[in-house]
Structure 1
Amino acid sequence: MRDFLLIGGGQIVSLIGSALTGFAMGVWVYEQTGSVTRFSLIYISALLPAILISPLAGALTDRWNRGRVIILSDIGAALSTVVIAILLLNNRLEIWHICLLNALNSVFRAFQGPAFSAAITLLVPERHLGRANGMTQTGRAIARLLSPVLAGVLLGTIGLYGIIVIDFATFVMALIPLIFVRIPDVTPDPGRKTGKKSLFHEAMYGWRYITEQSGLFGLLIFFTIANFFAGLAGVLFTPLILSFTSASVLGIILSTGSIGMLAGGLTMSIWGGPKRHIYGIFSSALGIGLCILSAGLHTYAPLFAVAAFFYYFGIPIINSCNHVIFQKKIPPDVQGRAFAMIGAIVGSSLPLAYLVAGPLVDHVFEPLMAPDGLLAGSMGQLIGTGPGRGIGLMFIIMGGFIILATLAAYSFSSLRGIEGDSEK
């Protein structure tokens, strides 16, 4: 675990620096333009390129040493940060600069993510994979918890330029362990002829490998569906809370959720997950579904805080258990392609969720739950009517779908028994 802790620790520090810059950059763009559309473009430009290029990035990752891929990705991200700093220092930073550099950063992440996930398998004994993935999730929770608070304070003291300098320093800290710790090369299995006909052929091999294993394919489909509904809940969480309380209460509830995420990551880091990790996925998914459903039933802020805590508590557990299963079931020489394909498919559910959330709320559910809406006399008697109650109804439906999807996934023996000793 020593080598993993050195590399993983550096990556977590870098993640915190990137989260600070991302948060501060969003605030800067909104303050400069006052445009929600341009504010959204910053996040879209950071998300879509990675999804589009991931399959090819995974194929290249499997061709190269994973450590070198992570180093080059970190250097590329650091250089793009330097460019932003130079433009800002010369008062020439514009929105299109940020979008372009965000897109470049997204490409580097498309390489870094699969390489790091595949490197964990090479660095960590199989019995500790759950703990290692839990530590990675803990790092993300720390970044989520600290970045809004720290960025808000730092913006008022050292400004955006100072935050970018800190981000660059964290990139350097992430590179140092990678220079001294070598991630082993992977020898392809001679019994499996993937061929090198073309980069596209190799990229698609990750998809074919997953689809040929019914359990892995079922897990991918289930995870994508759950991620879509969780994405809908994530993007609508803020407007739902603001429909009945203040922004300060929203901040408290979101902070409570971040604490829950940190607690879940620490739990996985110490515990490592259940013996059958698929049960960790099913139980966490059921809990997440119940939290989303319960959030739609009421407008009582303390109960929202409890739901947010347990919702985010389950996310590191379900993510860690999911990673462990894929790391155990997929050969190391295929993991770059497989993780890239998984990231592209699961990741594509989020832009879709963001795309449909607004129209569904504005044109379907909010009108249904208006005081004179079609459902005012039925569901309105249970959850109330007026602003935000249409979103509440969506939460009930989304939570119900996640619960039903989990029960349906459990009914498939190939998925339930994915880790061996398949149950009939």
Structure 2
Amino acid sequence: MDQAMKRRRATYHIWTFTASKLISAFGAQVYTFAISFYILQLTGSATSFAMNLICSILPRTIAAPFAGYAADRWAKKTIVLTAQGAIVLSVGGLLAVSLVYGLSLPAIYITTAVISLAASFSGVSFSAAITGLVDEERIQKAMSLNQMSISIAAIGAPAVGGLLYGTVSMNLFLILFMAAEAVALVLEATMNFRLFNRKADAGESAGEGPVKEPLLQSMKAGLAYLKTQPIIMTIIWISLFINFLFGAFQVGYSYILIEKMKMASEHFGLTEGAFAVGMLLMSVCLSVRKEVKYPLLLSKWGIVTMGLIMASVALPLLVSLPYTGLFIFYASVMFAFGLVMILVNTPIQVMIQKRVDDDYKGRVFAILETMAMALMPLGTVLYGFLYDLLPAEWILMVSAAVLIAVVLTMARPSVVRKAHPELTKRRQDGPENPAPAAE
């Protein structure tokens, strides 16, 4: 296939990938909204609601290493389509149970766990396949459009779910979700996952990926590979600490606005919507601009900014604001947080896509996902306990200070220079000693 044809095919992949993710994410968000309300209305129990969250988070965290091994061992397209099909069948199974016996909590929990497992395999395989789907110059665009589709779903799905809930049956919600996942499955089936992935062509065309060793040995090989990539290891460790410390924000934000500030539910929802709008706008910006030149440096200062934003959530606890000012302040905070989060995540994801060998991409993304999610449950429980004991403002400000200190230490200038050696050269050249024109 000539290069012009490949680029046209890659363009098709970009938009098909975006459309499938938009449809799939929208369906999943509407389903999550409806099932959450259903559980709370059925039981009135926060414990039952939390159990459904655990059924969503825990299987994905446990399955991630196996998903990474599978993505490097077998054809990624087969894994993605199989996982997507499993989601359709699991929701169809829940629909059948609902029609015959009525919805029950065990059936919902099992379905949530199956969806979470399938999403882990699909997500890791898709992440590992990006460089095979699109040309290198448009990886940032593809990932930005993917994030944009998720942001659009995050904005629109709760509104659609809110309008439909109470006027239509849960069975219709299940049918809509199943239809959305089925459409995404059809779109993904038309994509060539090996378009630019020359290294894996021979293995995957025969039905095998480049990895042939047993599971445990393969995981050890993945960890050994990561040891040769100190910059990627630094990013993984930073993600672990970030997700733990941001438990202060995730728990504290809702606690402060609802419990301390007594904000109305509709206004609280609008502030969270501002977060999705910020994500959407930054995703659009990154999709049309040139690739970020120094992603680790940008992400370092972006995370520092996120720490300052997290600390600012405590400001109305120290300085009294009128209700309107309170709403505007928190909507602005969440909008800024959405902007910065995409500015941190997308360039780093592009950097990892380009630096990691195709043979190890599945395992690397699986390790990244596992590390990012590993301490989230612990952080949520710990900060929930702390907010009952200590002043919220001190928890937020101390956590923000620790976050900033961790990032400044782990992404210190020497580490950034290793990631971007051209920065040193640029500073050495300077205006008085310009680089040769050819460079």
Whether TM exceeds 0.5 here: the answer is yes
- Change in Cα spacing, 1:189 to 1:87, as seen in structure 2 (3 Å) is closer
Cα displacement (A) at 1:205: 2.3
Deviations 1:33-77 (A, max 9, x none): 000011011111011111112111211111111111111110001
Task: Kindly provide the amino acid, as one letter, of the partner of residue 139 in structure 1.
Answer: S
Tell me whether 1:245 sits opposite 2:245 in the alignment: no
Question: What does 1:155-166 align with in structure 2 at a 5 Å threshold?
Answer: 155-166=165-176
| Contact 2:25 2:153 survives alignment (8 Å) | yes
| Contact 1:129 1:272 survives alignment (8 Å) | no
Tell me whether 1:207 sits opposite 2:207 in the alignment: no
Q: Which residue of 2 aligns with 1:379?
A: none
- Change in Cα spacing, 1:158 to 1:416, as seen in structure 2 (3 Å) is farther
| Contact 2:90 2:115 survives alignment (8 Å) | yes
| Contact 2:25 2:150 survives alignment (8 Å) | yes
State the alpha-carbon separation in 2 of the partners of residues 259 and 180 from structure 1.
Answer: 31
Tell me whether 1:90 sits opposite 2:100 in the alignment: yes
Q: 1:236 aligns with which of 248, 252, 258?
A: 252
State the alpha-carbon separation in 2 of the partners of residues 273 and 310 from structure 1.
Answer: 21
Off by >4 Å, runs of 4+ in structure 1: none
Q: Which residue of 1 aligns with 2:277?
A: 259
Q: Which residue of 2 aligns with 1:68?
A: 78
Q: Which residue of 2 aligns with 1:217?
A: 233
Q: Which residue of 1 aligns with 2:386?
A: 360
- Structure 1 unaligned regions, length at least 5: 366-389
SS of residue paired to 1:3: helix
Task: Kindly provide the amino acid, as one letter, of the partner of residue 419 in structure 2.
Answer: I
Cα displacement (A) at 1:422: 6.6
Q: Which residue of 1 aligns with 2:345?
A: 319
Cα displacement (A) at 1:19: 1.1
- Change in Cα spacing, 1:148 to 1:266, as seen in structure 2 (3 Å) is same
Q: Which residue of 1 aligns with 2:4?
A: none
Q: Which residue of 2 aligns with 1:410?
A: 411
| Contact 1:413 1:422 survives alignment (8 Å) | no
Task: Kindly provide the amino acid, as one letter, of the partner of residue 305 in structure 2.
Answer: G
| Contact 2:71 2:128 survives alignment (8 Å) | no
Deviations 1:167-191 (A, max 9, x none): 111112112222222211663599x
Deviations 1:239-296 (A, max 9, x none): 1111113223212211222211221222222225521111231232122111111111
Q: Which residue of 2 aligns with 1:152?
A: 162
State the alpha-carbon separation in 2 of the partners of residues 260 and 422 from structure 1.
Answer: 29
Q: Which residue of 1 aligns with 2:32?
A: 22
Task: Kindly provide the amino acid, as one letter, of the partner of residue 407 in structure 1.
Answer: L
- Change in Cα spacing, 1:354 to 1:412, as seen in structure 2 (3 Å) is same
Q: 1:351 aligns with which of 377, 382, 390?
A: 377
Cα displacement (A) at 1:412: 4.7
| Contact 2:278 2:338 survives alignment (8 Å) | yes
- Change in Cα spacing, 1:346 to 1:253, as seen in structure 2 (3 Å) is same
Q: 1:340 aligns with which of 349, 355, 366?
A: 366
| Contact 1:278 1:416 survives alignment (8 Å) | no
Task: Kindly provide the amino acid, as one letter, of the partner of residue 272 in structure 2.
Answer: L
Deviations 1:349-398 (A, max 9, x none): 211211211111113x1xxxxxxxxxxxxxxxxxxxxxxxx222211122
Task: Kindly provide the amino acid, as one letter, of the partner of residue 357 in structure 1.
Answer: Y
Task: Name which of structure 1's ranges 251-260 and 41-50 shifts more when overlaid on structure 2.
Answer: 251-260
- Change in Cα spacing, 1:187 to 1:344, as seen in structure 2 (3 Å) is same
Cα displacement (A) at 1:423: 4.2
- Structure 2 unaligned regions, length at least 5: 1-10, 203-209, 426-439
Task: Name which of structure 1's ranges 140-149 and 42-51 shifts more when overlaid on structure 2.
Answer: 140-149
Identity %: 22
Task: Kindly provide the amino acid, as one letter, of the partner of residue 306 in structure 2.
Answer: I
State the TM-score, normalizing by the size of structure 2.
0.85
Cα displacement (A) at 1:414: 3.0
State the alpha-carbon separation in 1 of the partners of residues 421 and 75 from structure 2.
Answer: 30
| Contact 2:60 2:120 survives alignment (8 Å) | yes
State the alpha-carbon separation in 1 of the partners of residues 334 and 216 from structure 2.
Answer: 42
State the alpha-carbon separation in 2 of the partners of residues 189 and 408 from structure 1.
Answer: 41
Deviations 1:13-45 (A, max 9, x none): 111101110111011000000000110111110
State the alpha-carbon separation in 1 of the partners of residues 198 and 222 from structure 2.
Answer: 16
- Change in Cα spacing, 1:423 to 1:218, as seen in structure 2 (3 Å) is farther
| Contact 1:214 1:415 survives alignment (8 Å) | no
- Change in Cα spacing, 1:161 to 1:258, as seen in structure 2 (3 Å) is same
State the alpha-carbon separation in 2 of the partners of residues 72 and 297 from structure 1.
Answer: 48
State the alpha-carbon separation in 2 of the partners of residues 225 and 416 from structure 1.
Answer: 22
SS of residue paired to 2:419: coil
Tell me whether 1:309 sits opposite 2:325 in the alignment: no
Deviations 1:119-157 (A, max 9, x none): 111112222222211111112211211221111111132
State the alpha-carbon separation in 1 of the partners of residues 276 and 200 from structure 2.
Answer: 40
Task: Kindly provide the amino acid, as one letter, of the partner of residue 262 in structure 2.
Answer: T
State the alpha-carbon separation in 2 of the partners of residues 58 and 329 from structure 1.
Answer: 17
Task: Kindly provide the amino acid, as one letter, of the partner of residue 26 in structure 1.
Answer: S
State the TM-score, normalizing by the size of structure 1.
0.88
